[in-house]
Amino acid sequence: MTLKLNLHTQPDVPLEADCICPDRMQSLSNSEIEELIIFHGNRQVPLKDFFECTGESDGEIVINGDLSKIKHIGSVMSFGKITINGDVGVHTGAAMSGGEIIIEGDASDWLGPEMLGGRITVKGNAGHMVGSGYRGSTIGMQGGEIIVHGNVKNETGHVMRRGLIVVGGNTGDFTGVNMVAGTIIVLGEMGIRTGAGMKRGSIICQTKSELLPTFTKSCVYQPSFLRHYFRYLKSIGLAIDDALMNSPFERWCGDSIELNRGEILLYAGK
């Protein structure tokens, strides 16, 4: 049976609720779950001050309400599933290594920072720093998948090392900045300075984009591996035009201020 958490009181200041995670709630009774400590600003309070707890914990948690002021939901999660019926605050899924988080609304900044595995799906939009490393970190996302159906803001995949980020809409500036490896797919448009400082990794975009002068065009070709990605994205509900499967892409190499082993693939079909 699913554990249900209903937000009954909107916090005045953000809540830090990293205890909302299958790893922490598994095998606890509802009364024990309600006594788990969260931070309301700088004060420690029990979870029950803000959430009503029903159902039973079996690894699946459903959270209802406007959670845009709730931070760190699903942090270091390693298994199970969290479904958020609404918007969610910052640091959702931080350093998670397994399981799945589904956000029916929008996600705030720092979605899945330094993620290791698992999958986060956002049905709406997400903020800045999706799948990024924290400031000062040299390695960000190291595995797993982040699928955002809508738009995202700046610095998506900052210092990303491994894994997949898919954006169904547009990205802001500095997509894949300082990227080390991994794959970012943007089905809409990208902002400026895409891939700045990237060492390796792939940024794929369905539209043309103005790139930094430190990127060099290699060729126009049909990358076989992209068919796998597009087929996969289609299977998880993203709108992929069949024509895309056999379309040519421009391959740009960069960033030459770094290793120059990264690539930006831009759709060249139109």
Partner 1 sequence: MKIKSTEVVDTFAEAFRMFGSRIIITAETKEWAMAAAQSITGFATSVIGCKCEAGIEKLINADESPDLRPGVSVLIFAMDAESLGKRLMERIGQCVMTCPTTACYNGLDEGTPVIVGGQLRYFGDGYQISKVLGGNKHWRIPVMDGEFLIDDKFNVQEAVGGGNLLILGKNQKATLRAASAATKAIRDLTDIILPFPNGVVRSGSKVGSRYKSLIASTNHLYCPTLRGAIEHSELDDGINSVLEIVIDGLTLESVETAMRVGISAAAKPGIKKISAGNYGGGLGQYHIHLHQLLASKDWSGEI
Binding site for partner 1 (CB under 8 A): 162, 164, 183, 200, 202, 221-225, 227-229, 231-232, 245, 261, 263
- Shortest reach from residue 237's CB to partner 1, in Å: 15
DSSP string, the chain: --EEEEE-S--SS-EE-TT-SHHHHTT--HHHHHT-EEEETTEEEEGGGTEEEEE--SSEEEEES-BTTEE-TTTT--SSEEEEES-B-TTTTTT--SSEEEESS-B-SS-STT--SSEEEESS---SSTT-PPTT-S---EEEEEEESS---S-TTTT--EEEEEESS---SSTTTT--S-EEEESS---SSTTTT--S-EEEESS-----TT-EEEEEE--HHHHHHHHHHHHTT----HHHHT--EEEEEE-TTTTS-EEEEEE---
Query: Closer CB to partner 1, residue 207 or residue 222?
Result: 222
- Shortest reach from residue 241's CB to partner 1, in Å: 13
Query: Closer CB to partner 1, residue 42 or residue 224?
Result: 224
Assigned token pair, 93: 């899924």
Query: Closer CB to partner 1, residue 37 or residue 236?
Result: 236
- Shortest reach from residue 18's CB to partner 1, in Å: 27
Query: Closer CB to partner 1, residue 50 or residue 230?
Result: 230
Query: Closer CB to partner 1, residue 123 or residue 200?
Result: 200
Query: Closer CB to partner 1, residue 105 or residue 223?
Result: 223
Give CA–CA dist 210/250, Å, rounded.
Answer: 12
